[in-house]
Chains A and B, each alone.
Chain A
Amino acid sequence: MVFSGIPFLYFFLPPLLGLYFLIPGKFSWGIRVKNVLLLVFSLLFYAVGEPKYIWLMLGSILSAYIFAQIIDRLEKGRGILLAVSIGISLIPLLYYKYAGFFTENINSIFGADIPVLRLSLPIGISFYTFQLVSYLADVYRRRVPAQRNPLSLALYVSFFPQLIAGPIVRYSDINEMLDHREHTLENFSAGALRFVVGLGKKILLANTLGELCDLYRSTGEKTMLFTWIYGIAICCQIYFDFSGYSDMAIGLGRIFGFHFIENFNYPYMSKGPAEFWRRWHISLGSWFRDYVYIPMGGNRVSLPRWMFNILTVWFLTGFWHGAGWTFICWGLYFAFFLVLEKFAKPVIDKIPVVLQRIGTLFIVMISFMLFDAATMADFVRNVGNLFNFANLAGAETLYYLRSYAVLLVMALIGCTDYPKRAVLRLAEKTGTAPVMQMLTPVFVTGMLIVCTAYLVDGSFNPFLYFRF
């Protein structure tokens, strides 16, 4: 089940909202009952999409619960237990996500004939595994006490808004909220607004731009112009798809009284790759920083060691996104530009800001063309098409440009913070803030209805990050 689907919006959410807000939240028992309800619905949410793997997730939670209790109580030998517990948490991820990749490559390199496992990836495993690892590490570092209530830990890991596509919420960020949180009209309203904004990003922009990308992939007319359109479209699609889903997660969390960390901050406004990664998938970037990069020594080490740290982190970042060489290359591609940016900073700083932004966008566009490519050969061919002046445009290119021009312009503007700033400035200068405020319910209603119309019209609505 995905948020941007009729079953979630109109069959899962209404009964949950109804039951949840019928339970009084003013008393401590009320919060406990609400948590049980959220846990039951979260497991149901997971089970309807992936019934056979729910036991895997519950097993991982139980394992982390037990190990955290022991680590929390011990004074000695905690490091070994941490390593063992993290190893156990990672086993399902390694098995289901990477076993096939490793056996294929071993077969290929050594000419072996090991049967290749073709396993379907348990939904959300990359996200909840990282949450469990961060929980265990934080308990080990005594940043948080181990959670005594197994149901609370299960709710932290399986809470449906962030279960299948993040943000990767740290236990330390929400452990207080598990027992004490506010349910206010403002929270509900702000959450609903954030949710429909995300829904609109996903359904109206990402899905429609996805159609344009599909058209490029299937066309025989891979002209230079069409390839540029595809490059821009794939950047916008991935951004709106993922940030839309994060918005929906954050909005849903807010409705239920949880405040999740932001996951995106207008990444396409960045002036360099480092800034891009501070604005893009923030929860993943900060996870790798805090649980891999800094424990390895970060940048307070010798130059060769720092280079090794950077390569390791970006290798893992790419590998986390998918068990394939294109994803690994994608991660290392960013490592290259991050190192380059670091050394060339004095030169880069002299370049006009607008050119820095354009350069960053180009680097990111190429990276997402790699991310999207089925094979390295496809990627190389597509990049070549960007500069194929002998094949500028054709009838198909021009038709799709005309048909998607408005959407592309909307998407490009929507990637920036200009609309938000314009609205705020307009409200401030004209004193229309109250009017804007009153337009919120109109916007929420309109967006929800239009998104529903798009959902009802189409029956195929895959989510890009579903299988990560």
Chain B
Amino acid sequence: MNVKKVSSIATAVLFSAIVGGFFLGHVLSPDGEFTTSERRRLAQFPEISASTLQSGTFMTNFEKYSLDQFPLRDSFRSLKAFCAYNIFGQKDNNDIYETEGYLAKIEYPMKENQITGAAVKFNTILDTYLQDAEVYFAMVPDKNYFLAEKHGYLRLDYDRLQNLFFENLSPDFQVIDIFDTLEIGDYYRTDTHWDQAKLAETVDRIAEGMGFTDRLTGAYTENTVENFYGVYAGQSAIAAEPDTLTYLTSDVLDGCTVTNLETGATTVYNLDKLTDGSSMDNYDIFLDGPAALITVENPAASTDRELILFRDSFGSSIAPLFVEAYAKVTLVDLRYLSSEYLGDYVSFGDTDVLFLYSTTILNTSEMLKVK
């Protein structure tokens, strides 16, 4: 048998084996429900009916299904990421990049209308509800602030962002600058968020600005959860080393009563999230993850002062560190609770109010439900 014939046979067999093998693999393997790497539900086999066939929606949904349920899906995504980085020399894959051992997502371009829109929305909350309160604002830099410029990645112009935002924010907000209290080491390598155990300086800066330093002891016990794969670990599809998730406990926090009307959670840290399959993100142990409204009541407080924290997900892990300084902390997430209903659920008055928002949210402020 000559070489050409052997080559032809091998080509035909391999080609047929690949297309046929994955066809059978797809058809015979059971469909998955979730993708933990991307933290979402997988598309299921679409409904077949005369109307879905006629309208073309069956085929559209079938394409999504065939992609989501493809055998060895995560391995294929990893191969794609490998090729993008190492063969085609691309700097990022699906906007995720790795540098200094950290995974980060490019946040670009800066949307000026979103930045000014955020300020306008916060001003609206101030005017509507917070006339009698002491109101503070602290901006949380995303990881790109520390990584992008140094390594040649696209980044927001953070100076311009701050200038633009604070120019439009009401002067009644007292601004607390926490940028210089943070460094890249304070963030998880594989996640967007910061590490609660490394926020002492940031908490001190905010406490100093808001005047509750004397009510903080800072006495906590560090607890860890191994093998924490943050949100970027799955999105990047590269083999990232897991982080160690840290959460701080104390007798005060243990004695607090948490009220989360959506989930019924009653503790500051919901460790059930690690094992009961209700969450695909271990960061959700902090105050039960994303929630419109949560209150934390501290029976051991030395004051009757209350704090209302308007926040994004960064607030979940830093809020417990404010708790010992207040009798009650109310966390409001305007992404899930529209401002027009705030008065129905939150008692405003002579309280401390802190707006704590990351630059990422400010650049996509359309998601804040403020009317």
| A3-33 Cβ-contact flags toward B at 8 Å (1 or 0) | 0011101110111011000000000000000
Which residues of chain B are near A11, meaning CB under 8 Å? 23, 26, 66
Which residues of chain A are near B108, meaning CB under 8 Å? 396
Which residues of chain B are near A399, meaning CB under 8 Å? 91, 152-154
Q: State whether B26 touches A10 (Cβ < 8 A).
A: yes
A403 to B91, CA, bound (A): 5
| A181-196 Cβ-contact flags toward B at 8 Å (1 or 0) | 0000110111011001
Which residues of chain A are near B67, meaning CB under 8 Å? 6, 455-456, 459
Which residues from 316 to 370 on chain B have a C-beta closer than 8 Å to any C-beta of chain A? none
B18 located at the interface, meaning its Cβ lies under 8 Å from any Cβ of chain A in the complex: yes
A77 to B68, CA, bound (A): 59
- Looking across the interface, which residue of chain A has its beta carbon closest to that of B23? A14
| A342-359 Cβ-contact flags toward B at 8 Å (1 or 0) | 000000000000000000
20 contacts between A and B (CB under 8 A): A5-B63, A6-B67, A7-B62, A10-B70, A14-B16, A185-B8, A188-B8, A189-B15, A192-B15, A196-B15, A395-B154, A405-B89, A438-B6, A438-B7, A445-B14, A450-B79, A456-B77, A456-B80, A457-B237, A459-B63
Q: From residue A433, how far is it (CB to closest CB) to chain B in Å?
A: 8
Decide if the interface of chain A is mainly helix, strand, loop or mixed.
helix
A1 to B6, CA, bound (A): 33
Between A14, A186, A407, the greatest number of chain B beta carbons within 10 A of the residue's beta carbon is seen for: A14
Q: State whether B23 touches A437 (Cβ < 8 A).
A: no
Other-chain contact of B12, A10, A49, A52, A185 (Cβ < 8 Å): A185
Q: State whether A396 touches B109 (Cβ < 8 A).
A: yes
Which residues from 399 to 427 on chain A have a C-beta closer than 8 Å to any C-beta of chain B? 399, 402-407, 410
Q: State whether A453 touches B63 (Cβ < 8 A).
A: no
Q: State whether B63 touches A7 (Cβ < 8 A).
A: yes
Which residues from 113 to 161 on chain B have a C-beta closer than 8 Å to any C-beta of chain A? 152-154
| B3-29 Cβ-contact flags toward A at 8 Å (1 or 0) | 111111111111110111011101000
Beyond A186-B8, A188-B12, is A453–B26 a contact (Cβ under 8 Å)? no
B225 located at the interface, meaning its Cβ lies under 8 Å from any Cβ of chain A in the complex: no
Which residues of chain B are near A14, meaning CB under 8 Å? 16, 19-20, 23-24
Which residues of chain A are near B243, meaning CB under 8 Å? none
Query: 9 other contacts beyond A441-B7, A453-B76, A456-B70, with CB at 8 A cut-off?
Result: A10-B23, A10-B26, A48-B59, A189-B12, A398-B152, A399-B91, A445-B18, A452-B76, A457-B81
B56 located at the interface, meaning its Cβ lies under 8 Å from any Cβ of chain A in the complex: yes
Between B8, B73, B91, the greatest number of chain A beta carbons within 10 A of the residue's beta carbon is seen for: B8
- Looking across the interface, which residue of chain B has its beta carbon closest to that of A17? B16
Which residues of chain A are near B58, meaning CB under 8 Å? 48
Beyond A17-B19, A457-B80, is A441–B152 a contact (Cβ under 8 Å)? no
- Looking across the interface, which residue of chain A has its beta carbon closest to that of B149? A395
- Looking across the interface, which residue of chain A has its beta carbon closest to that of B108? A396
Between A49, A220, A405, A437, the greatest number of chain B beta carbons within 10 A of the residue's beta carbon is seen for: A437
B227 located at the interface, meaning its Cβ lies under 8 Å from any Cβ of chain A in the complex: no
Closest A-B pairs by Cβ, 3 of them: A406-B89, A441-B10, A189-B8
Which residues of chain A are near B5, meaning CB under 8 Å? 185
B261 located at the interface, meaning its Cβ lies under 8 Å from any Cβ of chain A in the complex: no
A220 to B291, CA, bound (A): 36
Which residues from 239 to 256 on chain A have a C-beta closer than 8 Å to any C-beta of chain B? none
Which residues of chain B are near A6, meaning CB under 8 Å? 63, 66-67, 70
Other-chain contact of B90, A185, A219, A404 (Cβ < 8 Å): A404
Q: State whether B18 touches A437 (Cβ < 8 A).
A: no
B200 located at the interface, meaning its Cβ lies under 8 Å from any Cβ of chain A in the complex: no
A355 to B248, CA, bound (A): 70
B162 located at the interface, meaning its Cβ lies under 8 Å from any Cβ of chain A in the complex: no
| B73-102 Cβ-contact flags toward A at 8 Å (1 or 0) | 100110111010001111110100000000
A172 located at the interface, meaning its Cβ lies under 8 Å from any Cβ of chain B in the complex: no
A190 to B4, CA, bound (A): 11
Which residues from 169 to 215 on chain B have a C-beta closer than 8 Å to any C-beta of chain A? none
Beyond A49-B59, A402-B91, A453-B77, is A444–B53 a contact (Cβ under 8 Å)? no
Other-chain contact of A457, B4, B20, B76, B89 (Cβ < 8 Å): B76
A451 to B30, CA, bound (A): 24
- Looking across the interface, which residue of chain B has its beta carbon closest to that of A5? B63
A24 to B62, CA, bound (A): 33
B64 located at the interface, meaning its Cβ lies under 8 Å from any Cβ of chain A in the complex: yes
Beyond A18-B20, A48-B59, is A10–B66 a contact (Cβ under 8 Å)? yes
A186 to B9, CA, bound (A): 8
Beyond A5-B63, A437-B4, A448-B18, is A185–B9 a contact (Cβ under 8 Å)? yes
